[in-house]
Structure 1
Amino acid sequence: MTAQDLERLLSVAMPYGKYKDRLIADLPGHYLNWFARVGFPPGEIGRLLALMQELDHNGLRTLLDPLRNRK
């Protein structure tokens, strides 16, 4: 995980599915957990979803707050 990865969570939107166009950082935990169960998609989206799921699962969503406040 890098600082750029955290910034990407706040700038990349989900490209498909029920939460299409919602920022990765704003996806609900149950949706992220579903991906963890069935498998994350390949590529950057999958990597970001996995990172966000780890943050959510471990109660670390607040790590993104300072980055949100900069925008």
Structure 2
Amino acid sequence: MQPKREELIKLAHYKMPFGKFKDQYLVDLPLPYLVWFKQKGFPPGKLGQYLETMLTIKDNGLESIIRKLQKEYPED
């Protein structure tokens, strides 16, 4: 199943709500941090889904897609 464009746009603008990387875009999180979450278990809900998706995006070198969405669809 391919993610919908609207969800990718939301993902592009979603910021980490807590911790060392609070208020940073998920695309800016270091890969080892995302891997750590995978090993420990992603949090429930939207954040966990977005972190898992971002790990897949980064693992496949596709961050440029998220950065392009950030530019093409700026936050309100």
Q: CA deviation at 1:29?
A: 0.9
- Which amino acid is the alignment partner of residue 56 of structure 1? K
Secondary structure at the counterpart of residue 61 of structure 2: coil
Identity, % of aligned pairs?
38
Q: TM-score, normalised by structure 2?
A: 0.82
User: Any unmatched runs of 5+ in structure 2?
Assistant: none
Q: TM-score, normalised by structure 1?
A: 0.87
Q: Render the CA deviation track for 1:27-54: whole Å, top value 9, x for unaligned.
A: 1111111111111000000000000000
Q: Does 1:31 align with 2:30?
A: no
Moved over 6 A (4+): none
8 A Cα contact 2:12 2:67, kept in partner:
no
The 5 Å alignment of 1:1-71 reads 1-70=3-72, 71=74
Aligned CA RMSD, in angstroms, stands at: 1.3
**CA distance in structure 2 between the aligned counterparts of 1:27 and 1:68, rounded to whole angstroms:** 15
**CA distance in structure 1 between the aligned counterparts of 2:44 and 2:6, rounded to whole angstroms:** 19
Q: Number of aligned pairs? A: 71
Q: Render the CA deviation track for 1:45-67: whole Å, top value 9, x for unaligned.
A: 00000000000011111222321
